[in-house]
Structure 1
């Protein structure tokens, strides 16, 4: 009973998270038009049965804009996390090729980790001119050092394994060893690492957009919704900031919890 109950809880949680994710990803088709539909006779209305989460300053449905913003943040975070994981894996494998490359990779990791994270994000996004691609590149190029350090440690331990020495003694090339030994060992760690990078990427995308160097104001991003809400919170229009922020929090916590469950399932 003690072992089956946590498993049932994990399955139930994974099922709920999957259904919520499918609803979020399909919201573009069944609620995409409402996100930009203006109703000037329904401006700044509080939540009600007619307007579930209220309306904004242009009469647009806040629930539709929140779903559209969460969907946009999901794809931006997904691309940034995958790109950051690819950078981390490439550098970890590169560090295994020679001691000089290993020292260079360590120096690069330590340099990026020593710089304040948000400042580096702002500098990269500002240098690239802002926008969707700038946010993805800025988030991806600043989120790989921690994962690269973990992958490097795993592969460094694997490099001295007996079967790696046997492969070298049999005349196998370095490419064969990387492809058939290093990559299969590193891929589960990459999967968990990408899921753990995912919520950080979403939050930093929202932060960059909120600060004005992220996505375009014409896009219903969560950072745009929160920045617009700041002008109306003092007037009592609390729903403009509460519901987009709550949706972002729930999505990040769901992804983080899913990554934790997956890490426990893949651990020895």
Structure 2
């Protein structure tokens, strides 16, 4: 009885943490649309420390850092969502193909996965982004082509396990087509893994987008992106303008941690057996 009560309380805490993290991210998106672009215009209020009028202070051009940070996070979230979807699609297609098209295809795809995993992650992203010409296109291509490998292995394993399930063998004995089995049986069984993989991939994508932009391989300097904000602030932090780095960097970490926690909590909630052990 006591164990059941503790398990229920732990589940309630996970749900509360999940809702609070989701609310925080939704609040960031609402604020990014609500805040006026007029706060990004040049003004005489330059290098002001944090105050009630400017929560995150202002930069060397008089732009409100709170507005720049929130709108930069919106861009990071948009790029992260689009890039994560592409990575999930690549992982799902290759994982299913590896598990269903025989040993030869499985060996080739497994070799490609090992090749991508074996290469230095950030160097590979920078190389792809540089070849693609930088910008949003280069970031999306560079990150999406390097973040699918772990999920592809999970999908492959899940499909191999599902193929040997009794209900699929019964479906085959009734003459159901491979497309029917994939659509009605295999896809529903791997969908939770795909969703969890997407949510856990999201924070890594956002962090790497900021890293590529910080290194100068990403978005243009005119774009209000977190990587650009941090990169520009590095030239002013030595003069005592600490707020140019601390607040954007701290908020980026909180957003990444929120997404990571959402994915982890959903994974635990979808696997009650493992969470009770």
After TM superposition, is the score higher than 0.5? yes
How far the C-alpha of 1:82 sits from its partner, in A, is 1.2
Once residues 146 and 102 of structure 1 are traced to their aligned partners in structure 2, the CA distance between those partners, rounded to angstroms, is: 15
Q: Residue 257 of structure 2: which of 235, 238, 253 is its match?
A: 253
Could you say what secondary structure the match of 2:133 adopts?
Answer: coil
Q: Residue 68 of structure 1: which of 67, 71, 83 is its match?
A: 71
Task: State how 1:91-240 maps to structure 2 within 5 Å.
Answer: 91-95=94-98, 96-240=100-244
For structure 1, which runs of at least 5 residues remain unmatched after alignment? none
**8 Å contact kept, 2:11–2:269:** no
Once residues 160 and 13 of structure 1 are traced to their aligned partners in structure 2, the CA distance between those partners, rounded to angstroms, is: 37
Aligned to 1:79: 82
**8 Å contact kept, 2:32–2:67:** no
**8 Å contact kept, 2:46–2:58:** yes
Question: Bigger shift: 168-177 or 104-113?
Answer: 168-177
1:164-213 deviation per Cα after TM superposition (whole angstroms, max 9, x unaligned): 22222222222122111111111100000000000000000000000111
Q: Which 4+ stretches in 1 moved above 4 angstroms?
A: none
TM-score (norm 1): 0.96
> RMSD value over aligned CA atoms?
1.3
**8 Å contact kept, 1:32–1:68:** no
Aligned to 2:48: 45
Aligned to 2:59: 56
Matched residue pairs, number? 267
1:21-47 deviation per Cα after TM superposition (whole angstroms, max 9, x unaligned): 2221122321141452221x2111111
1:211-231 deviation per Cα after TM superposition (whole angstroms, max 9, x unaligned): 111111111100000000100
Once residues 155 and 35 of structure 1 are traced to their aligned partners in structure 2, the CA distance between those partners, rounded to angstroms, is: 51
Could you say what secondary structure the match of 1:42 adopts?
Answer: coil
For structure 2, which runs of at least 5 residues remain unmatched after alignment? none
**8 Å contact kept, 1:35–1:68:** no
Once residues 33 and 113 of structure 2 are traced to their aligned partners in structure 1, the CA distance between those partners, rounded to angstroms, is: 41
**8 Å contact kept, 1:46–1:54:** yes
